[in-house]
Amino acid sequence: MLYKNKDKRSLPEHIAIIMDGNGRWAKNNNLIRTKGHLKGLQAARQVVLTAANLNIKYLTLFAFSSENWKRPKFEVSFLINLIKEKLSKELSELYDNNVKINFIGDLTSFGSLIEEKLLYWQEKSKNNTGLYLSIALNYGGKWDIVESCKKIATLVKNNELNIEDINPNIFSNNLSTKNIPDPDLLIRTSGEYRVSNFLLWQLSYSELFFTNTLWPDFSKEELLDIIEDYATRERRFGLTNEQAS
């Protein structure tokens, strides 16, 4: 199945996805929750490759939130091991597919071994010219905003920035997403209608799409359908219909 709309300008430049529903998928299939995460990893691989084939420029996946540490210990341990053991293989394949890999979030909480492994692939892929893939690990939108405030406060303290010069662009340039544009489209799976502390600043003008599909069942075909829906939307950014046309 190919993207039907021939006008490439209708493609979103940046898609962000909250990959939700792994645990419920496992329960619905009489499996333990960890099996849902393994299946979800397969869905993520397919979505990344589909986005790359469509020439989407940026894709950001919410893989592990700062709130996920509160989950049952066995599940957190499994997710950490998944990052440690499985993700490296996935990143190697993405690197071979010319994907530029980026991580946002506080990686230090995973320990130096995992942090070094992730940063290795980020550095190794920095000259790739294909899809720019950001993976949010131990990420929270509030954390991102607070960190930006700290960086700006330090600049002011060191007389490198005047308070009067602080503006939205300065703030954005101190977020973890400073190198990428804000998402044009946010997709959330599993039937939940909230952004769950994801990219709170960056989503201010994003188009939102919520689907009841559980993440492990999310397919290439559904992604294409959502992009088709996005192409029909009129993005006005505060303007009137007449001004935006």
Catalytic residue list: 20, 68
Neighbour count for residue 7 (Cβ, 10 Å):
7
Which residues make Cβ contacts (< 8 Å) with residue 173, sequence separation at least 6? none
Q: Output the CA–CA distances (angstroms, integers) from residue 149 to 142, 145, 211, in the order listed.
A: 11, 6, 34
C-alpha to C-alpha distance for 4 and 225, rounded to whole angstroms? 9
> CB neighbours (10 Å) of residue 30?
7
CA distances from 10 to 7, 134, 151 (A): 6, 22, 36
Residue type, 129: T
Residue 7, CA distances (Å) to 4, 12, 134, 219 in order: 9, 11, 26, 23
Q: How far apart are CA 47 and CA 59, in angstroms?
A: 9
Residues 6+ apart with CB under 8 A from 214: 20, 21, 22, 24, 25, 28, 189, 190
What is the torsional sign of CA 202, 217, 35, 210?
positive
